[in-house]
Amino acid sequence: MMLSKSNLYIDPVKLKEYLLNMDHIDGRSKAKLLISFGFSSTDIDKLHQAILGHVNNTDVKLLQTTFGDKFIVEGDMVTPVGKSLKIRSVWIKEKQEEIIKFVTLYPI
């Protein structure tokens, strides 16, 4: 199963204030890693596009939860420094919604 790019949503605030924020208590380790691979909070579009590219080239595991459908994507993400980073991204399609929202990512 693959996710269609047309109904994916990545909140830019989540990228800037969580994944690329060295001061965020839960996100700082992810920020440190992502920044070391060339991502920056001043250009969140690079991370946005890298996450979408990761999803487009990878099979998806579907888990049904009480909140809706949860999607787990594992595979390589191309980084600005030209190296691949193996990650797991998590997405959710809440019940009664059409949009699949990005939840988080972490290295695997």
The residue ranking higher by pLDDT, 72 or 58, is 72
Architecture per CATH, domain 5-107, reads as Roll (3.10)
What is the greatest pairwise CA distance in the chain? 39
**What pLDDT shows up at residue 98?**
87
- The residues spanned by each domain of the chain are 5-107
Residue 95: φ, ψ to 5°: -55, 140
**Mean pLDDT for the stretch of residues 14-30:** 94
Give the model confidence (pLDDT) of 82-97 as tens digits. 999 999 999 999 988 8
How many whole angstroms separate alpha carbon 8 and alpha carbon 25?
27
Tokens describing residue 38: 């060339």
The one-letter code for the residue type at 28 is: R
How many whole angstroms separate alpha carbon 69 and alpha carbon 94?
6
Kindly indicate the confidence band of residue 1, based on its pLDDT and cuts at 50, 70 and 90: low
Kindly indicate the confidence band of residue 2, based on its pLDDT and cuts at 50, 70 and 90: low
